[in-house]
Amino acid sequence: MSTIQRTAVITGATSDRGIGIGVARRYAQEGWAVVVLDLDGEKSAKVAAEIGNEFAVPAFGYEIDVTAEDSVAAAHAAVTAEVAAGNLPVVGALANIAGITSPVPFLETTLDIWNKVMAVNATGTYLVTKAFLPGMLEAGWGRIVNMSSVSAQRGGGVFGKVPYSSAKAAILGFTKALARELGTSGVTVNAVTPGAVDTNIRVGATPESEAALARDIPVGRTATTDEVAAVITFLSSADAAYLTGATFDINGGSHMH
């Protein structure tokens, strides 16, 4: 196992078949210490402990509601305390994975749905990045990877509708503008745009709808969570220093541009 030098913080990382847990596992497998942040603090701690045991890396898990500034501050303080106590190495990577979608057609979209989808995806990415960025700037090294979606690029067409595409597109603008602003700081900011990934987020998907989806994907299937995780951990590596402000498609060829 490689030497553990840095901690990766992953939001939205406790959903059983989710991308976040796959990302946390992959960071650990590659020798990073990990911090698992999700709505349920107990589950976050449990998932972190399992990952820490399996890959023999330091791992902590805490509650976070990425839409609430005080909750983000509390999670950040908990991580900072473990770093200060020497239980975690300095935070080197942040993967903003927490997200929700909505399949509701536009005219049936309530303001509540719009606000929730924007809050978790876009505001959450803003708040968590703002909390963890100062430490990375202080260290002169950092990797931020934001979870967008092919829905931002092609106007939905997978599952999420207008609020989801809008929120995921906001993440692309956020990523580019922050990457530009951080310039020579040593901190890179990138976004990933997966197509359909085999997780529980697409509630209501049927075997028929999944088969129809696969027919539109040149590779002929949805992505595995590990295929998404592999790109995120590469973007977090030392080798990825010259990649910033970029969008990385992980869609089996379903959207080429």
Ligand X SMILES: NC(=O)c1ccc[n+]([C@@H]2O[C@H](COP(=O)([O-])OP(=O)(O)OC[C@H]3O[C@@H](n4cnc5c(N)ncnc54)[C@H](O)[C@@H]3O)[C@@H](O)[C@H]2O)c1
CB of 3 to ligand X, least distance (A): 29
CB of 222 to ligand X, least distance (A): 7
CA 7 – CA 82 distance, rounded (Å):
11
Measured from the CB atom, the residue of 78 and 139 that comes closer to ligand X is 78
Question: Would you say 187 and 246 are in contact if contact means Cβ atoms under 8 Å apart?
Answer: no
Measured from the CB atom, the residue of 67 and 244 that comes closer to ligand X is 67
Measured from the CB atom, the residue of 7 and 125 that comes closer to ligand X is 125
* Catalytic one of 27, 62, 126, 164: 164
Which pairs from 45-49 meet CB under 8 Å and 24+ separation?
A: 47/13, 47/14, 47/21, 48/24
For 48, 139, 152, 187, the CA distances from 58, given in Å and listed in that order, are 9, 20, 35, 23
CB of 75 to ligand X, least distance (A): 9
Give me 124's structure tokens: 């959450």
Please choose, from the candidates 166, 173, 152, 69, the residue with its C-alpha nearest in 3D space to the C-alpha of residue 117. Answer: 166
| SS (HEC) of 193-237 | EECCECCCCCCCCCHHHHHHHHHCCCCCCCECHHHHHHHHHHHCC
Q: Strand 187-194 vs strand 247-250: parallel, antiparallel, or unpaired?
A: parallel
CB of 67 to ligand X, least distance (A): 5
Measured from the CB atom, the residue of 175 and 199 that comes closer to ligand X is 199
Measured from the CB atom, the residue of 7 and 44 that comes closer to ligand X is 44
CA 172 – CA 11 distance, rounded (Å):
18
CB of 6 to ligand X, least distance (A): 22
Task: Let me know if 38 is exposed, middle or buried by CB neighbors in 10 A (0-12, 13-18, 19+).
Answer: buried
The residue at minimum Cβ distance from ligand X is: 99
Catalytic annotation present for 164: yes
Contact positions vs ligand X (CB under 6 A): 11-12, 14-15, 18-20, 38-39, 64-67, 97-101, 120, 147, 149, 194, 196-197, 199-202
Give me 118's structure tokens: 């924007």
Looking at the annotation, which residues are catalytic?
Answer: 164
